[in-house]
Structure 1
Amino acid sequence: MLALSPTNAARAADALLALHVGTVAFVVLGAVAILVGGWRRWRWVRGFRWRLVHLLLMAFIAVQAWLGALCPLTVWEQALRSRAGQAAYQTSFIEHWLSRLIFFEAPWWVFVAAYTGFAALVLLAWFRVPPQRARRGGHG
């Protein structure tokens, strides 16, 4: 790991947590946007690249859950908090509230079931609201 001062490690951990919350928001709100946008006929929800990223990210999350592995962002954040001399998830304002937003206490099987179910929903949306590749040479 980089040689960070405890203060900079704490700031980096907070930034990483914010990125983690953004990732969760992308996955959850992206799925909602796809389903609502398919129904409302929003063309942008069929964008192939972002849909592929969305699907692959959700698949990665589900596979991690099946393997019993922690998210790499969580592992990195905890290492930074340790470097900062902080107990994970018990210090700064940003870290405190953002972690409460995305981390829950439950048996591991609950997370495996939830991530698997959500991955199935994202996969179903792939076929129900299929993405479309951009047309080459055209305007639009």
Structure 2
Amino acid sequence: MAYRFLADAVMLVHFAFLAFVALGGFLAWRYRRVIALHAAAVGWGLVSVLVGVECPLTAWEDRFRRLAGEQGLARGFIDTYLTGVVYPREHLLTIQLAVAALVALSWVGFVLRRHRAAVRR
């Protein structure tokens, strides 16, 4: 039972990480120090998508699920929980581009807000 709890906890952390990748730049508008963490998270996301490096969170969840006597993740985290579940598989590129646009928008907004604050001083 402890392994299942750990697997579920890792799954929730993974979802939180994905939300942070998509929306963390907007959080940086209020808490500017977050931008460095967000840039690192986006960098990891890019490496994961472009190079195909598996996220350690996926490996941990899979291991905990197997230790709990479950099947584990037959595919990666996103393929298991999002692609084909939340959005159709054929829209994966559209979703990836939408997340990239959100990140870009949040960073442009961050820079503009910082510039406006500097001008006011």
TM tier, smaller: 0.5 to 0.7
**Which runs of structure 1 show a deviation greater than 3 angstroms over 4 or more consecutive aligned residues?**
99-102, 113-117
Q: 1:125 to 1:25 in 2, by over 3 A?
A: closer
* Structure with a larger share of its residues in helix: 2
TM-score, normalized by length of structure 1?
Answer: 0.57
**Aligned pairs, how many?**
105
Percent of residue pairs identical: 28
Report the Cα distance in structure 1 between the residues aligned to 2:105 and 2:20, rounded to whole angstroms. Answer: 17
Q: Which amino acid aligns with 2:59?
A: V
2:18 paired residue number: 24
Once the two structures are superposed, residues 16-35 of structure 1 have per-residue CA deviations (whole angstroms, 9 ceiling, x without a partner) of 1111122222233434xx2x
Q: Which has the higher contact order (CA 8 A, sep 6+)?
A: 1
Q: Which amino acid aligns with 2:92?
A: V
Q: Is the 8 A contact 1:10 1:81 kept in 2?
A: yes
Matched, 1:78 2:62: yes
What are structure 1's unaligned runs of at least 5 residues? 1-6, 38-43, 90-98, 133-140
What are structure 2's unaligned runs of at least 5 residues? 115-121
Report the Cα distance in structure 2 between the residues aligned to 1:100 and 1:120, rounded to whole angstroms. Answer: 21
Structure 1 or 2, whichever has the larger Rg, is: 1
Specify the SS of the correspondent of 1:48.
coil
Q: CA RMSD in A?
A: 3.3
Q: Is the 8 A contact 1:59 1:119 kept in 2?
A: no
**1:1-140 correspondence runs (5 A):** 7-31=1-25, 34=26, 45-88=29-72, 102-105=81-84, 106=89, 110=92, 114-115=95-96, 118-119=99-100, 121-130=102-111, 132=114
